[in-house]
DNA sequence: AAAAGCCCCTGGATGC
DNA sequence: TGCATCCAGGGGCTTT
C-alpha cells in the first residue's frame, strides 16, 4: 500500500499530536514481519519526542531509543482517543497519554521494530542502504544520473530498489516514468542525462502532488485520522491497462517486471 | 557485485 | 453457492 506519499501523509496526520506523550502501554496482536526486539513493557514510561520519516519507514523517537514502523503492503495507522476493542487486523497498539497509536495490517508485511539508537545494528540493517530523500534537497542530477549509469537493470526496477532514491513504489514508479516519457523497460545505464533530469523532476513532482492530495487510496489506505487520499484519481497509467492514455489515446499496457505489474503508454513513453 | 527469484500473509475480484 | 485462480501499494534474503 504505502509509498512515500502515504507514509508522509500518515506522519503529518499525527506527529504533532503524539509529540510529548508518555507511553502507557503496549499491546501486540499476531506476529508482524519482524519481532519488536525489546520487552514491550520496558517501553512504558518513555516519552515520545517526535515522528520522522526515512523512505517508507516512520521513526518514532523516544527519550530513549526509537521505534521503526513500516506499513508493508496493507498497513495503516490510526491515532486518537478511541480505545475501542482491537479488530482482527489490529496487530500493534502503542498507548500514550495523548492517545492510542494503532497499526492495522491485514497481510502483516509491516513491522514495528525497536532500535536503541539510530546507528544501532538493527536500525542500520533496515535503513543503512537507503538512497536519498527525493523531497528534501540532496536529490541532485549528478548523483542520480551517475547512479543510474552503474545499473544494468530496467530503470523501473532500479527506482523500486530504493538505493538511489527512496519512497518510489509501484504506483509512483509507473507514474513518474510516464511523466518523464521513459519506457519502464529501458536499462538504467541507457538513460541519458537529459532524460535522467526529466525523471528526477517527474519523481519530485508526482510525489509532492500525491502528498498534497492525501496519498492514493486504492482499496483501504487512510491517514491516522481515517481520511482517505485522492491521488489515484489523477493516475495516468497505474491500474489503467486497456484504457486510453489521457495524453494521446493509445491503450495503456500492463507488463510484469520482477513479479510486479508495470503500466505504461506505448506511444508517450519511448524505449 | 549486481540481478533475478522467492517468500512472508490475507482478502477481494473474477471465472467456472 | 462453492471453489479455484489471480492479483494486490514492500522488501529482505537467497540463489544465480
The per-residue pLDDT for A1 is 63
Q: Residues at the strand B interface (CB under 7 A)?
A: A 30, 33, 74, 88-89, 106-109, 150-154, 157-158, 188, 219, 258-259
Closest amino acid to nucleotide B9 (CA–C1'): A107
Active site residues of A: 2-3, 56, 260
Q: 3-class SS at A260?
A: strand
What residue spans of A86-240 are helical by DSSP H? 121-127, 141-149, 155-161, 170-180, 193-212
Strand partners, A79: A101
Give the nearest nucleotide to A220, CA to C1'.
C9
Nucleotides of B under 7 A from a protein CB: 2-12
The per-residue pLDDT for A111 is 98
Contacts of A144 (CB under 8 A, 6+ apart): A164, A165, A196, A199, A200
Q: How far apart are CA A141 and CA A8, in angstroms?
A: 23
Q: 3-class SS at A38?
A: coil
Asked whether strand C has any atom less than 7 Å from the CB of A160, the reply is yes
Answer whether 0.95 is exceeded by the pTM: yes
Three-state DSSP string of A118-145: CCCHHHHHHHCCCCECCCCCCCCHHHHH
Successive 10-residue mean pLDDT values, chain A, 271 residues: 94 98 98 98 98 98 98 98 97 98 98 97 97 96 98 98 98 98 98 98 98 93 96 96 97 96 98 97
Asked whether strand C has any atom less than 7 Å from the CB of A125, the reply is yes
C-alpha cell at A20: 510529548
Q: How far apart are CA A6 and CA A48, in angstroms?
A: 22
The per-residue pLDDT for A220 is 83
Asked whether strand C has any atom less than 7 Å from the CB of A262, the reply is no
Amino acid at each position: 500500500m504505502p509509498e512515500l506519499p502515504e507514509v508522509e501523509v500518515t506522519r503529518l496526520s499525527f506527529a504533532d499530536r503524539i509529540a510529548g506523550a508518555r507511553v502507557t502501554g503496549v499491546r501486540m496482536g499476531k506476529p508482524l514481519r519482524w519481532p519488536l526486539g525489546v520487552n514491550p513493557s520496558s517501553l512504558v514510561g518513555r516519552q515520545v519526542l517526535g515522528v520522522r520519516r526515512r523512505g517508507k519507514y516512520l521513526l518514532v523517537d523516544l527519550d530513549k531509543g526509537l521505534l521503526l514502523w513500516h506499513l508493508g503492503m496493507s498497513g495503516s495507522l490510526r491515532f486518537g482517543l478511541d480505545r475501542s476493542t482491537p479488530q482482527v487486523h489490529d496487530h500493534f497498539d502503542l498507548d500514550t497519554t495523548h492517545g492510542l497509536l494503532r497499526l492495522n495490517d491485514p497481510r502483516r508485511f509491516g513491522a514495528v521494530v525497536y532500535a536503541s539508537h539510530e546507528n544501532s545494528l538493527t536500525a542500520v540493517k533496515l535503513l543503512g542502504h537507503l538512497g536519498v530523500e527525493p523531497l528534501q534537497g540532496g536529490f541532485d542530477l549528478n548523483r542520480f544520473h551517475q547512479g543510474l549509469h552503474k545499473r544494468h537493470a530496467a530503470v523501473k526496477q532500479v527506482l523500486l530498489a530504493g538505493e538511489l532514491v527512496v519512497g518510489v513504489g509501484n504506483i509512483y514508479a509507473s507514474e513518474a516514468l510516464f511523466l518523464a516519457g521513459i519506457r519502464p523497460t529501458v536499462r538504467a545505464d541507457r538513460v541519458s542525462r537529459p532524460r535522467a533530469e526529466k525523471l528526477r523532476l517527474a519523481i519530485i513532482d508526482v510525489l509532492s502532488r500525491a502528498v498534497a492530495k492525501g496519498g492514493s487510496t486504492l482499496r483501504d489506505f487512510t491517514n491516522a485520522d481515517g481520511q482517505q487520499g485522492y491521488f489515484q484519481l489523477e493516475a495516468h497509467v497505474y491500474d489503467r491497462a486497456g484504457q486510453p492514455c489521457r495524453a494521446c489515446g493509445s491503450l495503456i499496457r500492463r507488463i510484469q517486471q520482477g513479479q510486479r505489474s508495470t503500466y505504461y503508454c506505448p506511444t508517450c513513453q519511448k524505449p
